[in-house]
Chains A and B, each alone.
Chain A
């Protein structure tokens, strides 16, 4: 009996380990590839456990590629998009959380539906408009479509953040003589700030990762965001694979770091609807 039990524990452990391995394998391979010496890169069989590690090639990505410029473009676009979405989204999310008029409820329902629509729908019309307004190949234009794409989700997540802060605070502020603007700005906002910051970070990550619009609207190499820049390495063999993987790591790092903060906010706003449903 005890032996059978031990056997089952070992088996379960092995299964769990195999599952975890499958999940992390690509990330492990990215790191290992970035750090390979040239001699090992194209060796076959590939060295699953690398003997020697040489960060030289990977570090050369800073100088050998445009990745720094591209990351800067990504940062500028993501930051601008996040700021605009935040400034528009905070009062809208608050209104949806606290007011119950028919117009507000309609706006809330429209937000949910809009958020379900694929970004693909904006591709052709925005191209026509941008061509007319000379906003093609322009990072400002990219910010406009990115705002269009993240704003509905941002508003909705902000709403769920405000839902989490008790309405009694609003009542207290009102009793103290605050109008609705002062209530939001001076009383509710400071309390809800951690959640709102997480939502803003999520908007940042979504924009950082955005590829379809950037690929379609931005054609100049020096204006590319990092998602498009990284893609340009695919299928060409001029840039060493270590540098490609190093660039991929640099590109992934902000997402991975911010995601740790965002996780709870995102899961909260999602599972609130899903689990109760």
Chain B
């Protein structure tokens, strides 16, 4: 393309320079500063730091609340990703065939994705409301339960309530990618399976699912990275991490340690742990996508 342009060697540097410098200055440098802070005593400032080595990590790893938070993160992420994948697959299979109302449905499926997180969490809180919520009413009408259910206040239910909202928010992404994946499965393969006597289920198991494998790997990794590292708003708005910390994932715990209890260095250590886990997933992900350079 432009490889042969001799007089313009400086062009890439000029084009890339501003963005690269900005990312270094406001992203990578702060991340390094965060790691550095995690080795300082709580109450340290940029001018007055007190090196404590791994003490913050020692406190963290000795704290049962940390182990619990890791568990919450793992369960929340696994359930949300699995749920979003399942819902997305159903939507994609529905949308893959033309039927009356198909364009309407494909518009509807995108809606949760476009809905801002805070707005979504507020609406769902109202639906889950103990006193006046629609869900309590519907479940009673359908005789699933008798009496009121505290979706957001019952320690056995709160995590599943926030998982539901997270699934609702992100399944459109799964639907869109899986639909794109379905379009890449050649119709001849389906026909061949039918000729061999496969029914609907057989085609799904032996043609559709294997055909979706490449998309599935990338999608699941992507969703896992996002849900694990970024799930804050839904939980914070709906339960604040409660009741009795059952929804306190690592992201909320970091926020709580840093900005509600003011253990900034401990929060930095937590952030560093989250970063290492995210980086591990990101490296796996990079191996699977059309790698730009690595």
Contacts and interface: CB of A to CB of B under 8 A. Distances in A.
A216 interface: yes
B110 A263 contact: yes
A112 B31 contact: no
A121 interface: yes
A30 B27 CA distance: 37
Contacts of B217: 277
Contact of B2 (A25, A170, A230, A270): A170
Nearest to A109: B293
A29 B123 contact: yes
Given A16-B105, A121-B271, A132-B46, A29 B134 contact: yes
Instruction: Report the contact-size class of chain B (Cβ under 8 Å from the partner).
Output: 35 or more
Nearest to A230: B118
A125 B127 CA distance: 37
A276 B190 CA distance: 20
A255 B116 contact: yes
Given A256-B111, A275-B180, A251 B91 contact: no
Nearest to B2: A98
A111 B23 CA distance: 9
A174 B2 CA distance: 9
Most buried by A among B16, B46, B251: B16
Most buried by B among A27, A180, A205: A180
A252 B94 CA distance: 27
Interface string A34-58: 0000000110111010000000000
Nearest to B28: A114
Most buried by A among B34, B110, B282: B34
Nearest to B7: A179
B111 A23 contact: yes
A75 interface: no
Interface in B1-53: 1-3, 5, 7-8, 11-16, 18-20, 22-23, 26-28, 30-31, 33-34, 37, 45-47
A19 B91 contact: yes
B177 interface: yes
A242 to B, nearest CB: 11
Interface in A90-131: 91-92, 94-96, 98-101, 103-114, 116-129, 131
Contact of B230 (A120, A216, A260, A263): A120
Contacts of A260: 114
A170 B115 contact: no
A230 B236 CA distance: 13
A129 B33 contact: yes
Contacts of A89: 19
A16 B92 CA distance: 12
B12 A104 contact: yes
Given A24-B108, A227-B118, A167 B1 contact: yes
Given A121-B31, A127-B258, A271 B177 contact: yes
A6 to B, nearest CB: 15
Interface in B161-187: 168, 173, 176-177, 180-181, 184
B292 A109 contact: yes
Interface of B: 1-3, 5, 7-8, 11-16, 18-20, 22-23, 26-28, 30-31, 33-34, 37, 45-47, 90-91, 94, 99, 101, 105, 108-127, 131-134, 137, 141, 168, 173, 176-177, 180-181, 184, 214-215, 217-219, 222, 225, 228-230, 232-233, 236-237, 251, 254-255, 258-259, 264, 267-268, 271, 274-275, 278-279, 281-283, 285-286, 288-294
10 contacts: A26-B168, A117-B275, A125-B33, A205-B114, A216-B255, A228-B118, A245-B126, A251-B119, A256-B114, A275-B215
Interface of A: 16, 19-20, 23-27, 29-30, 33, 41-42, 44-46, 48, 87-89, 91-92, 94-96, 98-101, 103-114, 116-129, 131-132, 144-145, 147-148, 151-152, 155, 167, 170-171, 174, 179-181, 184, 205, 208-209, 211-212, 215-216, 227-228, 230-231, 233-234, 241, 244-245, 248-249, 251-252, 255-256, 259-260, 263, 267, 270-277
Q: When A and B form their complex, which 7 residue pairs have the shortest distance between CB atoms, in order from nearest?
A: A118-B229, A259-B114, A105-B293, A92-B19, A95-B15, A116-B282, A91-B15
